[in-house]
DNA sequence: TATCAGGGCGATC
DNA sequence: GATCGCCCTGAT
Protein backbone atom coordinates (compact mmCIF):
# COMPACT_ATOMS: atom_id res chain seq x y z
CA UNK A 1 0.00 0.00 0.00
CA UNK A 2 2.98 2.26 0.48
CA UNK A 3 3.78 1.44 -3.11
CA UNK A 4 0.38 2.66 -4.15
CA UNK A 5 1.09 6.05 -2.65
CA UNK A 6 4.60 6.14 -4.03
CA UNK A 7 3.51 5.36 -7.54
CA UNK A 8 0.50 7.59 -7.62
CA UNK A 9 2.51 10.54 -8.94
CA UNK A 10 1.68 10.67 -12.58
CA UNK A 11 4.32 13.03 -13.92
CA UNK A 12 5.97 11.79 -17.05
CA UNK A 13 9.68 12.07 -17.71
CA UNK A 14 11.60 11.39 -20.85
CA UNK A 15 15.07 10.57 -21.97
CA UNK A 16 16.73 10.71 -25.34
CA UNK A 17 17.89 7.36 -26.65
CA UNK A 18 19.78 5.97 -29.59
CA UNK A 19 20.46 2.42 -30.70
CA UNK A 20 17.51 1.33 -28.63
CA UNK A 21 14.28 -0.38 -29.63
CA UNK A 22 11.75 -0.72 -26.84
CA UNK A 23 9.44 -3.22 -28.48
CA UNK A 24 12.21 -5.62 -29.45
CA UNK A 25 13.71 -5.29 -26.00
CA UNK A 26 10.41 -5.98 -24.27
CA UNK A 27 9.10 -8.71 -26.56
CA UNK A 28 12.18 -10.85 -27.08
CA UNK A 29 11.33 -13.14 -24.19
CA UNK A 30 13.82 -12.05 -21.56
CA UNK A 31 11.25 -10.39 -19.30
CA UNK A 32 7.85 -11.68 -18.19
CA UNK A 33 6.36 -9.18 -15.79
CA UNK A 34 4.89 -6.62 -18.12
CA UNK A 35 1.63 -5.75 -19.75
CA UNK A 36 0.88 -3.72 -22.82
CA UNK A 37 -1.86 -1.11 -22.58
CA UNK A 38 -2.23 0.87 -25.78
CA UNK A 39 1.25 1.96 -26.74
CA UNK A 40 2.43 1.87 -23.12
CA UNK A 41 4.24 -0.99 -21.45
CA UNK A 42 3.43 -1.36 -17.77
CA UNK A 43 6.40 -3.04 -16.15
CA UNK A 44 7.00 -4.60 -12.75
CA UNK A 45 10.48 -4.74 -11.29
CA UNK A 46 11.22 -4.94 -7.60
CA UNK A 47 9.20 -2.27 -5.84
CA UNK A 48 8.81 -0.37 -9.10
CA UNK A 49 5.73 -0.38 -11.26
CA UNK A 50 6.25 1.97 -14.14
CA UNK A 51 5.01 2.60 -17.63
CA UNK A 52 7.09 3.37 -20.67
CA UNK A 53 6.74 4.00 -24.37
CA UNK A 54 9.06 5.05 -27.15
CA UNK A 55 8.67 7.98 -29.49
CA UNK A 56 11.06 8.47 -32.36
CA UNK A 57 14.18 9.04 -30.33
CA UNK A 58 12.86 9.48 -26.83
CA UNK A 59 11.63 7.21 -24.12
CA UNK A 60 8.69 8.51 -22.16
CA UNK A 61 7.99 7.01 -18.77
CA UNK A 62 6.48 7.48 -15.35
CA UNK A 63 6.63 5.56 -12.09
CA UNK A 64 10.42 5.38 -12.05
CA UNK A 65 13.22 7.89 -12.27
CA UNK A 66 15.64 8.47 -15.09
CA UNK A 67 18.57 6.69 -13.44
CA UNK A 68 16.53 3.58 -12.90
CA UNK A 69 15.30 3.54 -16.49
CA UNK A 70 18.84 4.03 -17.81
CA UNK A 71 20.14 1.20 -15.74
CA UNK A 72 17.21 -1.17 -16.25
CA UNK A 73 17.30 -0.92 -20.03
CA UNK A 74 21.11 -0.87 -20.20
CA UNK A 75 21.06 2.49 -21.93
CA UNK A 76 24.64 3.05 -20.76
CA UNK A 77 25.84 0.08 -22.83
CA UNK A 78 27.55 1.21 -26.04
CA UNK A 79 25.63 -0.86 -28.55
CA UNK A 80 27.94 -0.16 -31.46
CA UNK A 81 30.89 -1.54 -29.52
CA UNK A 82 28.91 -4.54 -28.36
CA UNK A 83 27.67 -5.40 -31.81
CA UNK A 84 31.09 -4.90 -33.33
CA UNK A 85 32.38 -7.68 -31.10
CA UNK A 86 29.76 -10.18 -32.18
CA UNK A 87 31.14 -12.35 -34.99
CA UNK A 88 29.22 -11.42 -38.11
CA UNK A 89 28.02 -14.30 -40.21
CA UNK A 90 24.92 -14.81 -42.32
CA UNK A 91 22.78 -15.50 -39.29
CA UNK A 92 23.95 -12.96 -36.74
CA UNK A 93 23.95 -10.30 -39.46
CA UNK A 94 20.30 -10.91 -40.31
CA UNK A 95 19.27 -11.13 -36.67
CA UNK A 96 20.98 -7.87 -35.81
CA UNK A 97 19.57 -6.10 -38.84
CA UNK A 98 16.05 -7.20 -37.93
CA UNK A 99 16.19 -6.44 -34.24
CA UNK A 100 18.66 -3.63 -34.04
CA UNK A 101 18.29 -1.81 -30.74
CA UNK A 102 17.39 -4.88 -28.71
CA UNK A 103 19.16 -4.60 -25.37
CA UNK A 104 19.60 -6.93 -22.44
CA UNK A 105 17.45 -5.75 -19.53
CA UNK A 106 19.00 -5.65 -16.07
CA UNK A 107 16.34 -7.40 -14.05
CA UNK A 108 16.11 -7.71 -10.31
CA UNK A 109 18.19 -10.84 -9.57
CA UNK A 110 15.75 -12.55 -7.26
CA UNK A 111 12.81 -11.94 -9.58
CA UNK A 112 14.88 -13.16 -12.49
CA UNK A 113 15.76 -16.38 -10.66
CA UNK A 114 12.11 -16.87 -9.73
CA UNK A 115 11.07 -16.27 -13.33
CA UNK A 116 13.48 -18.78 -14.81
CA UNK A 117 12.62 -21.41 -12.21
CA UNK A 118 9.04 -21.02 -13.44
CA UNK A 119 10.23 -21.26 -17.03
CA UNK A 120 11.47 -24.85 -16.76
CA UNK A 121 9.81 -26.96 -19.47
CA UNK A 122 7.18 -24.29 -19.88
CA UNK A 123 6.12 -21.48 -22.18
CA UNK A 124 5.71 -17.73 -21.97
CA UNK A 125 1.96 -17.47 -21.25
CA UNK A 126 2.26 -20.08 -18.54
CA UNK A 127 5.35 -18.48 -17.02
CA UNK A 128 3.46 -15.21 -16.86
CA UNK A 129 0.47 -16.90 -15.24
CA UNK A 130 2.69 -18.47 -12.60
CA UNK A 131 4.47 -15.22 -11.81
CA UNK A 132 1.23 -13.25 -11.66
CA UNK A 133 -0.22 -15.85 -9.31
CA UNK A 134 2.88 -15.70 -7.16
CA UNK A 135 2.60 -11.92 -7.00
CA UNK A 136 -1.11 -11.95 -6.21
CA UNK A 137 -0.75 -14.46 -3.39
CA UNK A 138 2.51 -13.33 -1.81
CA UNK A 139 3.14 -9.82 -3.12
CA UNK A 140 1.72 -6.38 -2.55
CA UNK A 141 -0.70 -4.39 -4.60
CA UNK A 142 0.75 -1.62 -6.71
CA UNK A 143 -1.10 0.85 -8.88
CA UNK A 144 -0.23 3.24 -11.62
CA UNK A 145 -2.93 5.31 -13.26
CA UNK A 146 -5.95 3.00 -13.23
CA UNK A 147 -3.80 -0.04 -13.80
CA UNK A 148 -3.49 -2.37 -10.84
CA UNK A 149 -0.85 -5.02 -10.34
CA UNK A 150 1.08 -6.91 -7.71
CA UNK A 151 4.77 -6.91 -6.95
CA UNK A 152 6.65 -10.18 -6.62
CA UNK A 153 7.51 -11.27 -3.08
CA UNK A 154 11.01 -11.36 -1.63
CA UNK A 155 12.39 -14.82 -0.99
CA UNK A 156 11.74 -14.68 2.76
CA UNK A 157 8.06 -13.92 2.14
CA UNK A 158 7.76 -17.30 0.45
CA UNK A 159 10.10 -19.15 2.79
CA UNK A 160 8.32 -17.92 5.93
CA UNK A 161 5.10 -19.65 4.91
CA UNK A 162 6.65 -23.06 5.60
CA UNK A 163 6.93 -26.02 3.28
CA UNK A 164 3.71 -27.66 4.37
CA UNK A 165 1.64 -24.70 3.26
CA UNK A 166 3.86 -23.16 0.59
CA UNK A 167 4.35 -26.12 -1.73
CA UNK A 168 0.65 -26.98 -2.17
CA UNK A 169 -0.06 -23.28 -2.56
CA UNK A 170 2.52 -23.03 -5.36
CA UNK A 171 1.13 -26.14 -7.05
CA UNK A 172 -2.28 -24.52 -6.89
CA UNK A 173 -0.85 -21.64 -8.89
CA UNK A 174 0.23 -24.04 -11.61
CA UNK A 175 3.91 -24.35 -10.78
CA UNK A 176 3.76 -28.13 -10.66
CA UNK A 177 7.08 -29.86 -10.02
CA UNK A 178 8.75 -26.44 -9.98
CA UNK A 179 6.98 -25.70 -6.70
CA UNK A 180 9.56 -27.42 -4.54
CA UNK A 181 12.37 -25.72 -6.44
CA UNK A 182 10.85 -22.31 -5.80
CA UNK A 183 10.21 -23.03 -2.16
CA UNK A 184 13.64 -24.50 -1.44
CA UNK A 185 15.48 -21.80 -3.33
CA UNK A 186 13.53 -19.14 -1.49
CA UNK A 187 14.76 -20.71 1.74
CA UNK A 188 18.36 -20.70 0.62
CA UNK A 189 18.94 -17.35 -1.02
CA UNK A 190 18.01 -13.71 -0.76
CA UNK A 191 18.70 -10.66 -2.86
CA UNK A 192 21.89 -9.84 -1.00
CA UNK A 193 23.34 -13.28 -1.70
CA UNK A 194 22.52 -13.03 -5.38
CA UNK A 195 24.02 -9.54 -5.55
CA UNK A 196 27.19 -10.88 -4.00
CA UNK A 197 27.69 -13.16 -7.00
CA UNK A 198 28.63 -10.09 -9.04
CA UNK A 199 31.99 -10.18 -7.31
CA UNK A 200 32.80 -13.64 -8.63
CA UNK A 201 34.13 -14.78 -11.97
CA UNK A 202 31.60 -16.12 -14.47
CA UNK A 203 32.42 -19.80 -13.84
CA UNK A 204 32.37 -19.30 -10.07
CA UNK A 205 29.07 -17.45 -10.07
CA UNK A 206 27.53 -20.07 -12.35
CA UNK A 207 28.70 -22.87 -10.12
CA UNK A 208 27.20 -21.17 -7.06
CA UNK A 209 23.85 -20.78 -8.78
CA UNK A 210 23.87 -24.39 -9.92
CA UNK A 211 24.12 -25.54 -6.32
CA UNK A 212 20.49 -24.49 -6.00
CA UNK A 213 17.76 -27.07 -6.64
CA UNK A 214 16.15 -26.55 -10.03
CA UNK A 215 19.04 -24.48 -11.32
CA UNK A 216 20.95 -26.15 -14.11
CA UNK A 217 23.16 -24.60 -16.76
CA UNK A 218 20.39 -22.90 -18.67
CA UNK A 219 18.63 -21.28 -15.73
CA UNK A 220 21.97 -20.22 -14.23
CA UNK A 221 23.03 -18.56 -17.48
CA UNK A 222 19.71 -16.73 -17.74
CA UNK A 223 20.07 -15.31 -14.25
CA UNK A 224 23.69 -14.33 -14.90
CA UNK A 225 22.87 -12.66 -18.21
CA UNK A 226 19.55 -11.03 -17.46
CA UNK A 227 20.21 -9.78 -13.96
CA UNK A 228 23.86 -9.90 -12.94
CA UNK A 229 25.57 -8.27 -15.90
CA UNK A 230 27.45 -11.34 -17.09
CA UNK A 231 26.98 -10.36 -20.72
CA UNK A 232 29.14 -13.24 -21.90
CA UNK A 233 26.67 -15.85 -20.59
CA UNK A 234 24.97 -17.71 -23.44
CA UNK A 235 21.89 -19.62 -22.25
CA UNK A 236 21.26 -22.67 -24.42
CA UNK A 237 17.58 -23.57 -24.48
CA UNK A 238 15.62 -25.68 -26.95
CA UNK A 239 15.30 -22.84 -29.45
CA UNK A 240 18.90 -21.78 -29.41
CA UNK A 241 20.03 -25.39 -29.43
CA UNK A 242 18.05 -26.07 -32.60
CA UNK A 243 19.21 -22.82 -34.16
CA UNK A 244 22.89 -23.46 -33.43
CA UNK A 245 22.70 -27.02 -34.73
CA UNK A 246 20.97 -25.88 -37.90
CA UNK A 247 23.07 -22.78 -38.56
CA UNK A 248 26.50 -23.90 -37.49
CA UNK A 249 26.53 -27.69 -37.60
CA UNK A 250 24.35 -28.30 -40.65
CA UNK A 251 22.52 -31.13 -38.98
CA UNK A 252 25.71 -32.98 -38.07
CA UNK A 253 25.23 -35.02 -34.90
CA UNK A 254 26.76 -33.20 -31.96
CA UNK A 255 26.30 -33.60 -28.23
CA UNK A 256 24.84 -30.84 -26.05
CA UNK A 257 28.32 -30.42 -24.63
CA UNK A 258 29.76 -29.65 -28.05
CA UNK A 259 27.05 -27.07 -28.69
CA UNK A 260 27.79 -25.45 -25.35
CA UNK A 261 31.50 -25.24 -25.97
CA UNK A 262 30.98 -23.95 -29.50
CA UNK A 263 28.83 -21.04 -28.39
CA UNK A 264 31.11 -20.04 -25.57
CA UNK A 265 34.14 -19.61 -27.75
CA UNK A 266 32.53 -18.53 -31.01
CA UNK A 267 30.37 -15.67 -29.75
CA UNK A 268 32.93 -14.00 -27.53
CA UNK A 269 32.62 -11.72 -24.57
CA UNK A 270 29.24 -10.29 -25.54
CA UNK A 271 27.81 -13.72 -26.24
CA UNK A 272 24.67 -12.90 -24.30
CA UNK A 273 23.74 -10.20 -26.78
CA UNK A 274 24.39 -12.56 -29.67
CA UNK A 275 22.24 -15.15 -27.97
CA UNK A 276 19.33 -12.79 -27.52
CA UNK A 277 19.39 -11.61 -31.12
CA UNK A 278 19.62 -15.17 -32.45
CA UNK A 279 16.99 -16.36 -30.02
CA UNK A 280 14.47 -13.72 -31.03
CA UNK A 281 15.33 -14.31 -34.67
CA UNK A 282 14.91 -18.06 -34.54
CA UNK A 283 11.56 -17.79 -32.80
CA UNK A 284 9.92 -15.02 -34.72
CA UNK A 285 11.29 -15.41 -38.21
CA UNK A 286 12.17 -19.05 -38.62
CA UNK A 287 9.65 -20.52 -36.23
CA UNK A 288 9.08 -24.03 -35.21
CA UNK A 289 8.21 -25.51 -38.59
CA UNK A 290 11.55 -24.56 -40.06
CA UNK A 291 13.46 -26.60 -37.51
CA UNK A 292 11.07 -29.52 -37.51
CA UNK A 293 11.34 -29.75 -41.25
CA UNK A 294 15.10 -29.57 -40.96
CA UNK A 295 15.64 -32.31 -38.46
C1' DT B 1 -6.07 -40.62 -25.14
C1' DA B 2 -1.26 -39.64 -26.16
C1' DT B 3 2.37 -36.47 -26.83
C1' DC B 4 5.22 -32.47 -26.10
C1' DA B 5 6.96 -27.97 -24.26
C1' DG B 6 11.77 -21.84 -23.63
C1' DG B 7 14.97 -28.07 -18.06
C1' DG B 8 16.65 -30.48 -14.07
C1' DC B 9 17.70 -34.60 -11.80
C1' DG B 10 18.80 -39.19 -10.77
C1' DA B 11 19.77 -43.72 -12.69
C1' DT B 12 22.13 -46.31 -15.94
C1' DC B 13 25.48 -47.60 -19.29
C1' DG C 1 29.86 -37.92 -20.17
C1' DA C 2 25.95 -39.38 -22.96
C1' DT C 3 21.20 -40.91 -22.89
C1' DC C 4 16.65 -41.79 -20.76
C1' DG C 5 12.44 -41.56 -17.97
C1' DC C 6 10.22 -38.90 -14.98
C1' DC C 7 8.52 -34.65 -13.03
C1' DC C 8 3.18 -30.96 -13.18
C1' DT C 9 0.24 -28.74 -16.33
C1' DG C 10 -1.95 -26.97 -20.39
C1' DA C 11 -2.32 -27.20 -25.34
C1' DT C 12 -2.89 -29.87 -29.53
Same domain, A204 and A250: no
Q: List chain C nucleotides near protein: any atom < 7 Å from a Cβ.
A: 1-3, 7-10
CATH number at residue A151: 1.10.340.30
Of all nucleotides, the one whose C1′ comes closest to residue A174's CA is C9
A122 in the same domain as A20:
no
pLDDT for residue A14: 97
Q: pLDDT, tens digit, for every residue of A187-235?
A: 999 999 999 999 999 999 999 999 999 999 999 999 999 999 999 999 9
Position A74 scores a pLDDT of 98
- Read off the CATH number of the domain in which A256 is found: 1.10.1670
Domain assignment present for A233: no
Instruction: Give the residues of chain A that fall short of pLDDT 50.
Output: 1-8, 294-295
Q: State which of A183, A200, A227 marks the end of a domain.
A: A227
> Domain containing A64: what range?
6-98
Residue A232 covered by a domain: no
**Report field, pTM of the whole predicted structure over 0.85:** yes
From A91, A120, A32, select the one nearest A286 (Cα to Cα): A91
Q: A87 beta carbon < 7 A from strand B?
A: no
The reply to whether the CB atom of residue A210 sits less than 7 A from any atom in nucleic acid chain B is yes
Question: Tens digit of pLDDT for each residue in A145-175?
Answer: 999 999 999 999 999 999 999 999 999 999 9
Amino acid sequence: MQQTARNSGNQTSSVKVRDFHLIHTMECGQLFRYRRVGDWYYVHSGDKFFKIRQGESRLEFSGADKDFIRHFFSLDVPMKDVLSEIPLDRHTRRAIRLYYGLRIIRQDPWECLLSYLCSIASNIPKIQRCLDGLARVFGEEVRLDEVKGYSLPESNQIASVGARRAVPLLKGLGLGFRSKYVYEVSQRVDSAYLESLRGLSYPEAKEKLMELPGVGEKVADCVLLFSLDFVGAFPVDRWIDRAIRTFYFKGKKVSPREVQSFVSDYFGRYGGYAQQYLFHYSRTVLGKDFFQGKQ
